[in-house]
Amino acid sequence: MQVQWKGVMPAVTTKFTEADTLDLKMFEVNINAQVQAGVSGIILGGTLGEASTLSDDEKRILIETTVNIVDGKIPVIINIAEQSTKGAVRAVYNAAKYGASGLMMLPPMRYKATDFETVTYFKAIAQSTELPIMIYNNPVDYGIEVTLDMFEEMLQCNNIQAVKESTRDISNITRIKNRFGDRLKVLTGVDTLGLESLLMGADGWVAGLVCAFPQETVAIFELVKAGKIAEALEIYRWFLPLLELDISPQLVQNIKLAEVATGIGTENVRAPRLPLRGEERRRVLQIIGKRMNARPDLPVYKDLNKKSYHSA
């Protein structure tokens, strides 16, 4: 399935049972809610997916299960976050074998690579596969910035097609568009800059709180793209206190609590993460409760933009 790198792509959480095994039943409930809301792709194995705690076999199960659930409606993308080039190439090979349609790729993990090393890493992986690639540019959390000059060289690889823009510099979207036009698709990766990034020309939104609120997230995207900014802004202002739960070291626990509130998840996490407790738990639940009590009625949004973001 072709990946168009547009629309809302949830970086989904991984569902666990109380016995610390994959909860595929609740996982399917959530994926179906995402598809029904109109997302344009599913991203597995990111930070929200607790990827660093997953075994290779669990990643295989998640890819194969998701491919089966979405049944060709939208592409399934897997995040690649490895310490070595060899490990990344192996993970990419497995992703293709298990049915993934695309890749989201982080720079080398744990080692602060130089610009040259980072470019070489990405190009080596791109040359090892035909799968399309979105580079995850998040220097705030991972310590390596992929600059425009680095992208200039990396775009020699035709399958490097998009960037998850998480520098927190909203002007960077314009810089990318000015330099590369449509050659490099831009998807914002910061929930609290979601609407702002779309207004600056981002092609899509790799979202976090979409895991609990898929309809609201997709509605904002579709309204912005249809020029209905005031309607999108009304939803976004309601949403912002929830979106701020994404910019926290405990974002997984926060978002899983929100999934519980909307009935499409549990709060089970995998150690060393633990469920929130005490005052912080009460604070997060209060935010979620207030937003749930004021949850807006959404306009019809699915047919606003006639051009589909899905393509078989």
pLDDT in tens, 73-102: 999 999 999 999 999 999 999 999 999 999
State the Cα–Cα distance between residues 188 and 147, nearest whole angstrom. Answer: 16
Q: Is residue 288 part of a domain?
A: yes
Q: What pLDDT digit, counting tens, does each position of 159-175 carry?
A: 999 999 999 999 999 99
pLDDT higher than 70, residue 309:
no
Tell me what percent of the residues of the chain surpass a pLDDT of 90.
93
Question: What pLDDT, on the 0 to 100 scale, is given for residue 129?
Answer: 98
Nearest in space to 48 (alpha carbons), one of 102, 100, 12, 10: 12
Please check the confidence at residue 308 and state whether its pLDDT lies above 60.
no
User: Is residue 77 one of the residues assigned to a domain?
Assistant: yes
Rounded to whole angstroms, the Cα distance separating 126 from 132 reads: 8
- The mean predicted confidence, pLDDT, of the chain is 95
pLDDT single digits (tens) 218-252: 999 999 999 999 999 999 999 999 999 999 999 99
CA distance 69 to 295: 28
Residue 307 lies in a domain: no
Q: Is residue 177 part of a domain?
A: yes
Mean pLDDT of 113-141: 96
- List, in order, residues 6 or more apart from 279 with CB less than 8 Å away: none
Maximum distance among all alpha carbons in the chain?
Answer: 51
- The parent domain of residue 134 ranges over 7-293
Q: Among 110, 114, 108, which residue's Cα sits nearest to residue 135?
A: 108
Q: In terms of C-beta density within 10 A (0-12 exposed, 13-18 middle, 19 or more buried), how is residue 309 classed?
A: buried
How many structural domains does the chain have? 1
* Residue 120 lies inside a defined structural domain of this protein: yes
Residues 20-56 pLDDT 10s: 999 999 999 999 999 999 999 999 999 999 999 999 9
In-domain check, residue 1? no
d(CA 255, CA 249): 11
Domain assignment present for residue 14? The answer is yes
CATH of residue 106's domain is 3.20.20.70
Q: Is residue 306 part of a domain?
A: no
Q: What is the pLDDT of residues 131-161, one digit of tens each?
A: 999 999 998 888 899 999 999 999 999 999 9
